[in-house]
Structure formats: C-alpha cells, structure tokens
C-alpha cells in the first residue's frame, strides 16, 4: 500500500528527518512513536503530499488521491456548518454520506451547528468524519486525539479502530502516547531523525478489551524500553 524508500524531508533550512524507509501492507495499522521533533509529522505531511521530499521516494497505491489526513488540531472552518466542513471540496451529493457518518458518530443533531458550538471531542469526531468521507485507502492520523481527555480519547480510538478494521483501511498513526500506539497499531515503529530504529508486531491488535490484557502491559514495557534507548 505504502512504500517509503530512504526519504529525507527538509523543514526550511533544517533536515526534519532522513533515512526513512517503511513498507505498509494493505489493511495494516502502523503506529509511529518517537521523541518530539524527530520528524513524525513532517513524514505524514510528505506522504499526504503537503511537504516535498528532498531525497528518496514515497509511493502509495492509487497515489496521494487515495489517502486522507486528519491533523492534530481539528482545523474545522469556523464559518462553515458541521455538515459543510465534512463535505469541504466535495460535491453536494456527498451530504447524504456525511449525514450517515454523523449518525454513526452520534453527531446527527449537530449537522447545522457551527464548530464553535461543539466540545473538543465532538470537533475531533467531525474532523474524523471529514477524513473518512473521502473513502481513503490510506488514513493518516497526526496525533488527532492528543488534546482530548482520557475517556473521550479511548472512545474515539474505539470509533476509529472499528471503522478502519471494518472497511479494511490502512492506517498510519503518529502519536506520543505509547498506549494509543499499541491500541491502534498492528505494528508499532519507533522513529528518530535518522530513520526507524525499532519495530514490534502487536499480536493482540484484534483482541477485544485488549487494554486490560497482560500482553498489552508487557508490550508497553518493551516499547518504553525502546523509546528510552533512542
């Protein structure tokens, strides 16, 4: 689905990250964790076509058209109603699909509200709907739940995971949270400015109630150890 080969990304004069290589299979969920400033967001932006690649190559099945990005901040346009934010750049006939997504996310009554009238969690749900309505084959999430409280975050993690698994969407998630990386990723990679240094498979990715399982804690422990080493 996604092949990244020896990529270097510049951010202004500086190098954001280099030596980045990664293969993501269709339907796989990959979580990227790493210290602040290691270039995780830049990598996601480069995949989405929002940043140029200085060196190396990124290839996506279906091109950038087949991917959709959800940003760290919801970036809802304050002058557009919820429904219009979701169908931004799409044809009017997509409104019925947007309504279906709003129903699925429990936001059907908010369709004609402005973003200012929503809570943080509701806004992120709308931003998620905006990413999903494009029926992406590859979904890029840039710490989308970082600003939310724990309870809302876990609910949204469930929503996203259910949706991507049911639709077979490939996921690339950037996060600071080890627990989130584990819960959302069938594979977790640790990133530095100079490439990926560690990767672990998550054998309990599809398990129900995985957060309470002992394997979850041992995986978390090994990831913490890996992160300390970078």
**Can you give the binding site for other proteins, defined by CB under 8 A?**
45, 48-50, 65, 68-69, 71, 73, 75, 77-80, 88-90, 113-114, 116-117, 130, 134
Tokens of 180: 């989130």
* 31 vs 183: CA distance, rounded Å: 9
Query: Based on CB atoms, which residue is closest to other proteins, 114 or 196?
Result: 114
Least Å distance, CB 193 to other proteins, is 22
Least Å distance, CB 19 to other proteins, is 26
Least Å distance, CB 225 to other proteins, is 35
Query: Based on CB atoms, which residue is closest to other proteins, 41 or 202?
Result: 41
* β-sheet bridge partners, residue 190: 33, 198
Query: Based on CB atoms, which residue is closest to other proteins, 72 or 193?
Result: 72
Query: Based on CB atoms, which residue is closest to other proteins, 61 or 112?
Result: 112
* 17 vs 222: CA distance, rounded Å: 24
Least Å distance, CB 97 to other proteins, is 15
Least Å distance, CB 220 to other proteins, is 32
* 101 vs 163: CA distance, rounded Å: 10
* β-sheet bridge partners, residue 17: 9
Taking the alpha carbons of 174, 2, 45, 155 in that order, is the dihedral positive or negative?
negative
Query: Based on CB atoms, which residue is closest to other proteins, 135 or 199?
Result: 135
Query: Based on CB atoms, which residue is closest to other proteins, 130 or 198?
Result: 130
CA 215 to chain centre: 24
The two beta strands, 55-60 and 29-34, are unpaired
Burial letters 47-86, b for 16+ CB under 10 A, else e? bbeebebeebebebeeeeebbbbbbbebebeeeebbbbbb
Least Å distance, CB 118 to other proteins, is 9
């Amino acid at each position: 689905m996604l092949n990244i080969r020896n990529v270097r990304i510049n951010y202004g004069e500086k190098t954001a990250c280099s030596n980045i290589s990664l293969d993501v299979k269709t339907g796989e969920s990959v979580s990227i964790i790493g210290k602040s400033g290691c270039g995780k967001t830049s990598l996601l932006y480069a995949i989405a076509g929002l940043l140029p690649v200085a060196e190396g190559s990124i290839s996506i099945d279906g091109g950038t058209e087949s991917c959709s990005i959800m940003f760290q901040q919801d970036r809802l346009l304050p002058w557009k109603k919820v429904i219009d934010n979701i169908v931004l750049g799409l044809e009017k006939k997509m409104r019925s699909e947007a309504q279906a997504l709003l129903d699925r996310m429990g936001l059907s009554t908010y369709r004609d509200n402005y973003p200012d009238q929503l809570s943080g969690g509701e806004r992120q749900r709308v931003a998620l709907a905006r990413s999903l309505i494009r029926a992406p084959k590859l979904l890029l999430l840039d710490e989308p739940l970082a600003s939310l409280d724990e309870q809302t975050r876990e609910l949204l993690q469930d929503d996203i995971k259910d949706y991507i698994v049911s639709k077979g969407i490939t996921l690339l998630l950037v996060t600071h949270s080890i627990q989130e990386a584990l819960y959302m990723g069938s594979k977790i990679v640790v990133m530095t400015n100079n490439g990926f240094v560690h990767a672990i498979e998550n054998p309990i990715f599809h398990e129900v109630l995985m957060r309470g399982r002992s394997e979850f804690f041992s995986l978390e422990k090994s990831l913490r150890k890996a992160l300390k080493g970078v």
